[in-house]
Homo-oligomer: A and B are copies of this chain.
């Protein structure tokens, strides 16, 4: 009898339910990887080699333009599978974006050949893979609409509100913020300066202190 790795069992209880032999066999062979923070786990144009089950840590998936601008497409936080990886494996495509660890990440890797075998042979694993696959659509559609329709000050204010709820002082550079929103560093700098003049935030080097959540909220209300 193959046994499921305790980390997998803890993070993905559904996997323990899989009762077919093939699925359990494949899972028991999955390699546990540990990657430090700030590392690139896949790059644009890379062929996709492994199905990834993240059990710990956070990965951001960013798109990149020819002239160096970037945008965060989505994140995998704490636990989840990489939809982009699944899409690439299914469609035999190269990665259209880059994956970067934001913290130390622990993940299980299932090589492409075994992934394909799982799709063919294991009902349980197939179901699991497709279930976890879909959920990102809504987020991407929202992102498209924000990019197409919403002003950058609105999006910036919303970002600061969201992050400012959990902690007053954010540790993030203007450049990183620009990447989060898919804008340019200078634009973000100017907007932040204007926010500071309104008394909503105070700026430091690499930090933003959110002083007036309600002021930011009013700005969001006003815009939308």
Contacts and interface: CB of A to CB of B under 8 A. Distances in A.
For this chain, the copies found in one complex come to 2
Interface residues of A, number: 40
Contacts of A86: 134
Interface of A: 63, 65-67, 69, 71, 73, 83-84, 86-87, 90-91, 93, 96-97, 123, 126-127, 129-131, 133-138, 140-145, 147-150, 182, 224
B66 A148 contact: no
B144 A63 contact: yes
Given A71-B149, A126-B130, 19 more contacts: A63-B144, A63-B145, A63-B148, A65-B145, A67-B149, A71-B148, A83-B137, A84-B141, A87-B135, A87-B137, A87-B138, A123-B127, A127-B130, A130-B130, A133-B134, A136-B137, A137-B137, A143-B144, A149-B182
Contacts of A69: 148-149
Q: Which 4 A-B pairs have the closest CB atoms?
A: A130-B130, A65-B149, A148-B182, A147-B147
A92 to B, nearest CB: 11
A71 B143 CA distance: 12
27 contacts: A63-B148, A63-B149, A65-B148, A65-B150, A66-B224, A67-B149, A71-B148, A71-B149, A83-B134, A84-B137, A86-B134, A87-B134, A87-B137, A90-B134, A91-B135, A96-B141, A96-B142, A123-B123, A123-B127, A126-B130, A127-B130, A130-B130, A130-B133, A130-B134, A136-B137, A140-B140, A143-B144
Contacts of A93: 138
B224 A141 contact: no
B96 A145 contact: yes
A149 B144 CA distance: 12
A71 B73 CA distance: 18
B147 A144 contact: yes
Nearest to A65: B149
Nearest to A150: B65
Contacts of A182: 144, 148-149
